[in-house]
């Protein structure tokens, strides 16, 4: 019998709100990391000459990449807000009473910050400029 | 069945990882060059000591203006025992209590505190100021988890002293020859391998056998293993007829509601709302001793004043207020909410008497040395302490808070004595086939074709509850003896499903049932034999205490497997002459 | 009423892999899940193996995953979990058999935080004094029964064998915040190592799983704070 808990078994555990917040934190963290890798690769293309780099940059001006960028925006904001929440909870242990309220508060803040920025970022798509 | 047998050699072996076993282990570990092992069928922190709630008695006098003295404590204990306790032993218990409680505090036990920062104490049944004047605050407590904290603290000390543990080993046999200890045989539950522990000294501290009754506060693992093992080896059991039925268990479940509830001011009420204990015990009322209250509850129920016509009365703590309940009785509140959906701050708790504590057991002297007969011959190197032992400090009825005290006082004394004994003694050579009898017992269970253990257990619990509980009389007792004897015979062919080696709970439960049946047989025969009423042993056909004939301890030897031979040991009386017992 | 149990079985002597077995038992809704398991063991299938002892939530033997969440089988009533009950062993430790796991590493972690009072001053003739407020400071963590429900609900512990786990931190907390104890520095040094409190991600599964209602995550956060500040 393996002692290490498989990913699937872990997912099947019925944890609380904070467990889902934590899993999302992990996923968004990995997402941001993935972008960072792409970003390094794309900057690296400069070494193949300016034309190649410009071509790469144009890729960003497609609908697909714009939507992906909005996703990135979401990941960064979620990760930052949730990370701040956890830091606050760790510093003030007596906040345990408001554990779920804090998760939901951070989600509300996330929506307030993310939605306007996402709409603004997607305007070119709606206008058919991309 | 695995025939693999491993042999260990240890100076001292402690069987049982509860309060008493661990206390002995701590004091053994403090002695140089005594290699000690603790064998426990559970992880030690799972032991039943952990469920003790209300407190541990010691005359610290922290909370009463009159102070307290060990003599008052001793008097209360002797009176509580219905004058059957040996007074030299009670003196040891009550005197050593004071220093031991301080020592436990120094070990880190987190007692609740008075505003001055001293150990907090509360009232408990049968404990009085100045030889019976009024209830005394003598029970030192840690909220309502005193036993849990004692168990944890002692286990912590064992870790500190690097005590060697054999966790989840079930002891199957005692090896003894010519009244000299050779060791014990145990099965390693996880693997099914048998282990022979060749030891100079063995302590049995395996707890009680409340599981022979239907409604009990005892864990399923409290099956009287030690009592059965020594009895089968031709050694005696003492005062087995005295089994305490605690007045307040949660209705139908038997989970204990501590006497501390009444110590804090809770009262018992019948269906008419009457505080009926005022009639039965005008001075101590709800804090009379346990046997008195259990009988009163049964009588109320019998006379039709049970709550809703059922077999329970109410324990009312609603007037204490939520704050007191949450601070001083949080676990009780939790049990009631979880199991019966009652909030004790709002509604009374439905309670019924529940089988709780064995006053009798393995006869020992005040150092825990096992007696081989009523004349006081010692079995060299075999010790016992805690509930399974009978020193006897509880006599015919134990006072609340005295069991935790018994565990640590006599656990410690046994540990110290064993260490000194093991340092001076030599190993007694093992017999030729040390594990032979253990293997034979387990093999027989594996091959059985009769009834399942659960069926036999149900029948035993039913007959013991009906005839050998709070009220006893002929011909019910004869019926019980015959029935238990029949069950012991059917047990020879008990059937199990499980053939695995690893973690075979089926075979162990069957083995434990065999132990319980021997304890039940001993209890029923002893109850039939004692034709008087004393403490927890109440005979409707002999309702009076009879000091002339029965102021003596019962010793029982088992001969040829089923014949019980009685002998008697006089009670040691030093300070307090027997008189009528009124609360 | 008829209650269906789907129980994860595994016998290393016979089975290559764990599998689910279904049993049906007649129970009241106020019965405990443990009553159901006992009923199966005693009357249907004696090979079903699990730990149990006190049967009322104090001994800590019967922590298991019931409908996906860690609970004590003796403190969970049928009405809390419904008529279809899935029972599995707790996660993160090797399974000995059926619902019984090897808890050796759990107790090893427990021992690693020095779970005993450290105070080298000669004790006074009577008790050491402690105010009710100082006593209250660590009351919550004295309730721990070492059932392992918290540690085996913790994603950090699932993913990292070396993490001491919530239960060990709770035990450390019980001493670090005891005014009589002098071992805080040593304990905090152990708990700030890689295997210590910083592996905690404040997921709160431990708090939810605790059958004794200990605020486990809060206790861990208090230890984290003490670690940063250098003292309780």
pLDDT digits (tens, 9 = 90+) for C42-71: 999 999 999 999 999 999 999 999 999 999
Nearest to B382 by CA among B370, B372, B371: B370
- The predicted pLDDT at position A61 comes to 80
Average pLDDT, chain B: 96
B257 vs C178: CA distance, rounded Å? 29
Question: Same domain for B418 and B455?
Answer: no
Nearby residues of A48 by Cβ (< 8 Å), 6 or more positions away: none
Give the pair of three-digit tokens for residue C192: 């700030």
The torsion of the CA quartet C195, C200, C201, C202, rounded to 10 degrees, works out to: 180
Q: How much is the CA Rg of chain A, to the nearest whole Å?
A: 19
Q: Which of C218, C225, C227 to mutate to test the interface with A (most CBs of A within 10 A)?
A: C218
Question: Same domain for B91 and B202?
Answer: yes
pLDDT in tens, B266-307: 999 999 999 999 999 999 999 999 999 999 999 999 999 999
- The predicted pLDDT at position C161 comes to 84
Residue B191: pLDDT above 80?
yes
* Pairwise CB contact (< 8 Å): C65 & A13: yes
Mean pLDDT within B361-372:
98
Touch between chain C and chain A: 3 or more Cβ pairs under 8 Å:
yes
Give domain status of residue B351, yes or no: yes
Question: Same domain for B314 and B412?
Answer: no
B88 vs B80: CA distance, rounded Å? 15
CA neighbours within 13 Å on the CB side: how many for B400?
39
* C-alpha to C-alpha distances, C208 to A100, B230, B241, B380, B472, nearest whole angstrom: 12, 46, 46, 52, 48
Residue B249: pLDDT above 90?
yes
Give domain status of residue B457, yes or no: yes
- The predicted pLDDT at position C160 comes to 87
Q: How far is CA C7 from the centre of its chain?
A: 20
- The predicted pLDDT at position A65 comes to 86
Task: Decide if the complex's ipTM is over 0.85.
Answer: yes
Nearest to B194 by CA among B184, B207, B203, B181: B184
From chain C, pick out residues whose CB is under 8 angstroms from the CB of B445. Answer: none
Residue B2: pLDDT above 70?
no
Question: Same domain for B441 and B471?
Answer: yes
Question: Same domain for B338 and B365?
Answer: no
pLDDT in tens, A5-51: 888 888 899 998 999 999 999 999 999 999 999 888 888 878 888 88
Q: Which of C203, C209, C215, C227 to mutate to test the interface with A (most CBs of A within 10 A)?
A: C203
- The predicted pLDDT at position B336 comes to 96
Question: Same domain for B86 and B135?
Answer: yes
Question: Same domain for B380 and B445?
Answer: no
Global pTM value:
0.96
Q: Are B456 and B517 in contact (CB under 8 A)?
A: yes
Q: What is the CATH number of the domain that holds B343?
A: 3.90.700.10
> Could you list the residue range(s) of the whole structural domain that residue B477 is in?
436-550
Residue B76: pLDDT above 50?
yes
Q: What is the DSSP string of A22-85?
A: HHHHHHHHHHHHHHHHHHHHHHHGGGG-HHHHHHHHHHTTSHHHHHHHHHHHHHHHHHHHHHHH
* C-alpha to C-alpha distances, A63 to A70, A125, A130, nearest whole angstrom: 11, 6, 6
Q: Are B217 and B255 in contact (CB under 8 A)?
A: yes
* Pairwise CB contact (< 8 Å): C201 & A90: no
Question: Same domain for B135 and B223?
Answer: yes
Q: Are C165 and C150 in contact (CB under 8 A)?
A: yes
C96 vs C151: CA distance, rounded Å? 18
Question: Same domain for B109 and B23?
Answer: yes
Residue B477: pLDDT above 80?
yes
Q: Which of C65, C92, C221 sits opposite A89 (nearest CB)?
A: C221
Residue A92: pLDDT above 70?
yes
Mean pLDDT within B6-13:
97
Instruction: State which H helix or E strand residue C53 sits in.
Output: none
Nearest to C79 by CA among B482, A40, B26, B338: B338
pLDDT in tens, C101-147: 999 999 999 999 999 999 999 999 999 999 999 999 999 999 999 99
| 3-state SS, residue B264 | coil
Mean pLDDT within B26-35:
95
Last residue of a domain, one of B299, B333, B355: B355
Residue B1: pLDDT above 80?
no
Residue B203: pLDDT above 50?
yes
End-to-end CA distance of chain B: 56
**Is A29 at the interface with chain C, CB within 8 A?**
no
Instruction: Please give the positions of B annotated as active site.
Output: 290
Residue B359: pLDDT band (50, 70, 90) is very high
Residue for token pair 């106020």: C30
Residue C205: pLDDT above 90?
yes
Domain count, chain B: 3
Give domain status of residue B538, yes or no: yes
How many other CB atoms sit within 10 Å of the CB of residue C6?
14
* Pairwise CB contact (< 8 Å): C158 & A18: no
* Pairwise CB contact (< 8 Å): C55 & B145: no
Give domain status of residue B222, yes or no: yes
End-to-end CA distance of chain C: 52
Q: Which of C155, C158, C225 sits opposite A93 (nearest CB)?
A: C225
* C-alpha to C-alpha distances, B228 to B485, B522, B557, B558, nearest whole angstrom: 15, 9, 11, 10
Residue B97: pLDDT above 60?
yes
* Pairwise CB contact (< 8 Å): C205 & A18: yes
- The predicted pLDDT at position A2 comes to 46
For residue B361, is it left (φ>0), alpha (ψ between -120 and 50) or beta? left
Q: What is the CATH number of the domain that holds B369?
A: 3.50.50.60
- The predicted pLDDT at position A1 comes to 43
- Strand order across the B134-140 sheet: B56-57, B134-140, B121-129
């Amino acid at each position: 019998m393996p002692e290490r808990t498989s990913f699937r078994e872990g997912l099947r555990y019925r944890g609380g709100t904070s467990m889902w917040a934590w899993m999302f934190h992990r996923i968004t963290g990995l997402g941001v990391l993935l972008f960072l890798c792409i970003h390094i690769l794309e900057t690296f293309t400069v070494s193949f000459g300016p034309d190649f780099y410009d071509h790469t940059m144009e890729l960003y001006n497609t609908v697909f990449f714009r939507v992906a960028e909005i996703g990135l925006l979401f990941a960064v904001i979620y990760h930052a807000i949730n990370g701040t929440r956890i830091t606050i909870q760790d510093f003030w242990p007596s906040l345990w009473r408001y554990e779920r309220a804090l998760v939901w508060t951070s989600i509300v803040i996330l929506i307030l910050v993310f939605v306007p920025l996402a709409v603004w970022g997607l305007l070119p798509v709606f206008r058919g400029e991309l | 069945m695995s025939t693999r047998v491993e042999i260990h050699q240890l100076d001292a072996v402690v069987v049982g990882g509860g309060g008493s076993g661990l206390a002995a282990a701590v004091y053994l570990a403090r002695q140089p060059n005594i290699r000690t092992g603790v064998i426990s069928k559970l992880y030690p922190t799972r032991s039943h000591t952990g469920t003790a709630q209300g407190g541990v008695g010691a005359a610290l006098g922290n909370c009463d203006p009159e102070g307290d003295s060990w003599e008052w404590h001793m008097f209360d204990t002797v009176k509580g025992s219905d004058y059957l306790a040996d007074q030299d032993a009670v003196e040891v218990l009550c005197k050593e209590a004071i220093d031991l409680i301080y020592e436990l505090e120094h070990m880190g036990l987190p007692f609740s505190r008075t505003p001055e920062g001293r150990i907090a104490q509360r009232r408990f049944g049968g404990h009085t100021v100045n030889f019976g004047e009024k209830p005394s605050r003598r029970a030192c407590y840690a909220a309502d988890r005193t036993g849990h904290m004692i168990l944890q603290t002692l286990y912590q000390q064992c870790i500190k002293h690097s005590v060697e543990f054999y966790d989840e080993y079930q002891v199957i046999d005692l090896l003894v020859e010519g009244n000299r200890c050779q060791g014990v045989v145990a099965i390693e539950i996880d693997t099914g391998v048998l282990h022979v522990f060749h030891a100079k000294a063995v302590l049995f501290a395996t707890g009680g056998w409340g599981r022979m009754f239907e409604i009990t506060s005892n864990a399923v693992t409290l099956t009287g293993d030690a009592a059965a093992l020594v009895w089968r080896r031709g050694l005696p059991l003492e005062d087995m007829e005295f089994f305490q039925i605690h007045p307040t268990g949660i209705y139908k479940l038997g989970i204990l509601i501590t006497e501390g509830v009444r110590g804090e001011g809770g009262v018992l009420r019948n269906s008419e709302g009457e505080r009926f204990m005022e009639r039965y015990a005008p001075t101590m009322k709800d804090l009379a001793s346990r046997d008195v209250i259990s009988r009163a509850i049964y009588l109320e129920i019998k006379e039709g004043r049970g709550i809703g016509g059922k077999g329970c009365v109410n324990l009312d703590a609603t007037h204490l207020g939520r704050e007191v309940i949450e601070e001083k009785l949080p676990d009780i509140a939790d049990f009631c909410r979880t199991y019966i959906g009652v909030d004790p701050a709002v509604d009374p708790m439905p309670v019924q008497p529940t089988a709780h504590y064995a006053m009798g057991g393995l006869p020992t002297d005040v150092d825990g040395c096992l007696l081989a007969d009523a004349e006081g011959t010692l079995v060299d190197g075999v010790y016992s302490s805690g509930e399974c032992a009978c020193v006897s400090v509880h006599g015919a009825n134990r006072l609340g808070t005295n069991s935790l005290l018994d565990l640590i006082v006599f656990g410690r004394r046994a540990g110290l004595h064993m260490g000194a004994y093991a340092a001076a003694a030599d190993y007694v050579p093992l017999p030729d086939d040390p594990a032979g009898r253990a293997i034979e017992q387990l093999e027989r269970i594996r091959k059985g074709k009769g009834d399942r253990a659960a069926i036999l257990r149900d029948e035993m619990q039913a007959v013991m509850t009906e005839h050998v509980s709070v009220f006893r009389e002929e011909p019910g007792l004869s019926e019980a003896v015959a029935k238990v004897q029949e069950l012991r015979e059917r047990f020879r062919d008990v059937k199990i499903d499980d053939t695995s080696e690893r973690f075979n709970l089926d075979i162990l439960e069957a083995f434990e049932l065999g132990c319980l049946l021997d304890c039940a047989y001993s209890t029923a025969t002893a109850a039939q034999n004692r034709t008087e009423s004393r403490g927890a042993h109440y005979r409707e056909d002999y309702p009076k205490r009879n000091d002339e004939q029965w102021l003596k301890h019962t010793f029982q030897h088992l001969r040829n497997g089923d014949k019980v031979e009685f002998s008697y040991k006089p009670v040691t009386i030093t300070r307090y002459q027997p008189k009528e017992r009124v609360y | 009423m008829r209650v269906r149990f789907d129980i994860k079985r595994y016998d290393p002597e016979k089975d290559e892999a764990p599998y689910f077995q279904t049993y049906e038992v007649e129970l009241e809704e106020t019965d405990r899940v443990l009553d159901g398991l006992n009923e199966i063991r005693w009357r249907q299938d004696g090979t079903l193996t699990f730990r149990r002892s006190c049967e009322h939530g104090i001994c800590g033997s019967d922590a298991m995953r019931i409908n996906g969440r860690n609970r004590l089988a003796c403190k969970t009533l049928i009405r809390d979990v419904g008529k279809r009950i899935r029972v599995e062993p707790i996660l993160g430790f090797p399974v000995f058999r059926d619902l019984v796991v090897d808890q050796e590493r759990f107790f090893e972690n427990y021992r690693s935080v020095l779970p005993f009072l450290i105070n080298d001053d000669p004790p006074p003739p009577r008790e050491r004094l402690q105010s009710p407020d100082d006593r209250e400071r660590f009351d919550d963590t004295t309730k721990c029964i070492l059932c392992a429900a918290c540690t085996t609900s913790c994603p950090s512990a699932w993913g990292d064998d070396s993490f001491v786990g919530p239960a060990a931190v709770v035990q450390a907390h019980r001493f670090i915040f005891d005014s009589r104890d002098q071992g805080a520095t040593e304990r905090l040094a152990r708990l700030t190592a890689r295997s210590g409190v910083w592996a905690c991600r404040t997921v709160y599964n431990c708090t939810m799983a605790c059958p004794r209602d200990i605020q486990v995550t809060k206790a861990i956060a208090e230890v984290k704070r003490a670690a940063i500040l250098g003292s309780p």
